[in-house]
Amino acid sequence: MVVAVGADHAGVALKDALVVYLRARGVEVVDFGTHGPASVDYPDFAVQVARAVAGGRADSGLLVCGTGQGMAMAANKIAGVRAAVVAEPFSAAMTRAHNDANVLCIGARVVGGGVAEAILDAWLTTTFEGGRHARRVGGIVALDAARAGDAG
């Protein structure tokens, strides 16, 4: 499994801790940064992770900023990405099981390290259920295609 990760300055410490956590579990990590506390713009990192996932270079993505919201907004602009902001394990599992979410967004100012690890565990161990949910995810995929046509 390959997980692409990225963070802004507000999320870098939690991102770095979660990278260690992932690698200790045998997960291959591609870290797009940021790598320090200097102020940066979250869309720059969200797009790198989102493109890695959408392009098949990573199986899923993890983005961390202050709330997770900005990262999700930016990542969801990339066709093929279904980014979800999660603050507890149940939602992490449901976004995978029912929405086939492929990018997890966490707010470093919202959850602590222990909760973030539990969220990540739920995310990584839950698979898409398919069935009736596949039709609904198909509707999201169709929105990606329609958005491409709306750009002109």
Residues annotated catalytic, as ranges: 65, 98
Integer Cα distance of 78 and 129 in angstroms: 23
- Of the candidates 113, 18, 5, the residue with the CA atom closest to the CA atom of residue 59: 5
- Of the candidates 8, 55, 29, the residue with the CA atom closest to the CA atom of residue 120: 29
Residue 52 pairs in a beta bridge with: none
Integer Cα distance of 111 and 40 in angstroms: 21
| CB 119 within 8 Å of CB 88 | yes
Residue 15 pairs in a beta bridge with: none
Residue 62 pairs in a beta bridge with: 5, 104
| CB 83 within 8 Å of CB 30 | no
